[in-house]
Amino acid sequence: MSKDFFSYAVGVGSKNAKGHWLEVFYPAPVLNPSEAEVSALTKDLAYNNGKQDIELDDAALNSLIANAEALGLKEQAIAYQALLGSTQPRVLCLLSEDNAAESTPEAYLKLHLLSHRLVKPHGTDLSGIFAVLPNVAWTNQGAIDLAELPSHQLAARAKGELLQVTSVDKFPKMADYVVPSGVRIAATSRVRLGAYIGEGTTIMHEGFCNFNAGTAGTSMIEGRISAGVFVGKGSDLGGGCSTMGTLSGGGNIIISVGEESLIGANAGTGIPLGDRCTIESGLYITSGTKVILIDENKQQAGTIKARELAGKSDLLFRRNSISGAIECLTNKTAIALNEELHAHN
C-alpha cells in the first residue's frame, strides 16, 4: 500500500436496472489518511490495496463502524451508522493514488473532495472523469437512467403523481450533496457538484460556478466562473460577465482572478488576472487582444498583446470611448466589497 494514501469514503448511491452506478453521496470523505488508518479500517474487508470500490452490506458496515470507533474517527462512525439498513447500494471507495478516474464512485469522491473544501481546484486529477460520469435525469425522485426515464414517468402518472425532471446532465447540483458553511447561493441549480465555494461567498441568481472551479471566499459572484477558474478573496464578478475556462476555449491556460479584483457587468477575461485588477463593463479581454499601455503621465507607452499582462496586479482595462482602443492603466484603487453584506452570510 502506498505510504501517501490519497483518499477514501463510504457512500450511498443509485444504480440503474443493469446494476451500473448513476451517482454516489459521500457524507464524510477523508483526504490523505495514514497507511495505518486505512489498514485498520479495512482489516475485515477484501481490500487488495490500490484503488478499489467495495460494495457494502450491513455486516461490512458494522465492521467499518467498529473499526472507525476504535480509531477515534467519530464523524465517520456516525455517518456509517446512518447507512445501516438502507435499501440503496452502499460503497467504500479507496483511492491509494490521485490519478485518472476509473469508476463512477471514484469520480464522485473527487467531486466531493472539492465541494467539501478538502482540495482546491486543480488539487486533484480529474482526467477521465467525463468517461465515467453517466448522463442521467436528475429528478425529484433522484437520479434515473435516461433509458429508464419513460417507464418511471408513466408509473408516476399512473399514480396521479408528477416526476419532475430538473436537468439532464453528468453533474448534479452541489447543494444536493454538499452545502459548505458560510455561503449564500441564490439559485442552487447554477452551482455544480465539484465547485469549491469559499466561506463568505455570495452567488446571486445569475451567477454560475462549474466543477473544478470556485472562490477562495468573500466574493460576490453575479457572472460565470467557468471550469478550472479560481477567484481570489474579495473579488467581484459583475452581472453577465464571464471567465474563459479550459472547457470553453481557454485551452491549457489556467485562468484565475486575483484578490480584490473586479470584472464589470457583461465583461470577461481570457487571461489570468493578478490582484486589484479591473476590467470595465462590456469589455472582454482575450490573450490576443491588442492593448495600449498608458503610463502614469497618461501618455501612450506602447502596444502589446494582453497575454503579456497575464497575472500582473494593479491593472485597469478600459475601452477608450472616443477611439475605441483598449487601454491598460495602473489601477491604484482596490475593489472593496460591501463588508456589511458579507458579515451576515
CA–centroid distance for 22 within its chain: 19
Whether 222 sits among the annotated catalytic residues: the reply is yes
Q: At what angle do helices 58-70 and 74-82 cross, to 10 degrees?
A: 160
- Nearest alpha-carbon partner for 111 in 215, 7, 251, 265: 7
In angstroms, the CA 92 to CA 64 distance is 10
CB atoms within 10 A of CB 82: 12
Yes or no: say if 202 and 215 are a contact pair by the CB < 8 Å rule: no
In angstroms, the CA 207 to CA 192 distance is 12
DSSP 6: -
In angstroms, the CA 87 to CA 90 distance is 9
In angstroms, the CA 330 to CA 314 distance is 6
Among residues 222, 259, 260, 327, which one is catalytic? 222
DSSP string for residues in 20-81 = -EEEEE-SS-EES--HHHHHHHTTTS---SSSEEEEE-HHHHHHHHHHHHHTT-HHHHHHHH
Catalytic residue list:
222
